[in-house]
Amino acid sequence: MVHTTHPGNIGSAARAMKTMGLSRLVLVQPLLFPHAEATALASGAADLLESAQVVPDLGSALAGVHLVVGTSARQRHIPWPRVNARHGGEMLVQEAAQHEVAVVFGREDRGLTNEELHQCHVHLEIPTNPDYGVLNVAAAMQVVCYELRMAYLQAGGMAAVGGCPVFMPWPETVWDEELVPHEAMPGFYEHLEQAMTAVGFLDVANPRQVVTRVRRLFQRMRMDRLEYNLLRGFFKDILQSLAHREENP
């Protein structure tokens, strides 16, 4: 949960999580926490509040995570891969069998910022009434936690709800290298921007949406460690080659 304003929402979120078998809650700069209202609304889930991790920024919250799903109710200028809550739950449960995953919820008044959403691989939406799609953040968490629970039960051999097929955007496979975790990507994007700027492809004075679209591309790819190192080496060689030409015209 990012920058939560009302402590009651934190308590209600903890209760929603515990009823669906989830236990790890991370709070990014909550305005008021710990707080008596959070404890009161958590009811029997006060243990989740006691174990909740409070961090200074979203990057810290996502350390070690390989799949980041951000909740968003608004269409963005540059569209990102999107799933509804049901398909998102199935995707997360499938991925969680191999890697750390995270679902990110934003502020009560305006959700997640564009910059925060750009750190996510996929955006998740709840298909609400188009005439009134306003959901309290704790209510949204209850919906998503429910879908995670149902996907988990289905994956464990329980009867499929309504015969819905499992959504598999990334087929299961035995990979030869570990996927790159979230915290490795900021350095990658910085290195990439340096290389694009150096060759004249990126105009830093007028970047338009180039950086955002390139970021979307690599978020969608989800590189493994070997691919990541290969590209970082490529960027390094570009910068070194250009520096050598400047020193030896």
Walking along the chain (249 residues) 10 residues at a time, the average pLDDT comes out as 97 97 97 97 96 97 96 78 94 92 95 93 93 92 96 70 40 71 94 95 89 91 92 96 88
DSSP codes joined into one string, 104-148: E--BTTTBS-HHHHTT-SEEEE----TT-----HHHHHHHHHHHH
- The CATH number of domain 182-247, selected from 3.90.25.10, 1.10.8.590, 1.10.1760.20, 2.40.400.10: 1.10.8.590
Cα distance between the two ends of the chain: 53
Cβ atoms 210, 202 nearer than 8 A? yes
- pTM for this entry: 0.81
- Enumerate the CATH 1.10.8.590 domain ranges in the chain, comma separated: 182-247
What's the pLDDT at 160?
Answer: 38
DSSP code of residue 21: T
Q: What share of the chain is helix, strand, coil (3-state, %, to 5)?
A: 50, 10, 40
Cis peptide before 34 (omega within 30 of 0): yes
User: By C-alpha distance, which of 149, 176, 150 is closest to 22?
Assistant: 149
Dig out the tokens for 209 from the structure: 């949406």
CA distance 11 to 16: 9
Give CATH for domain 7-163.
3.40.1280.10
Q: What single letter denotes the amino acid at residue 115?
A: E
Alpha-carbon gap, residue 125 to 181, rounded angstroms: 24
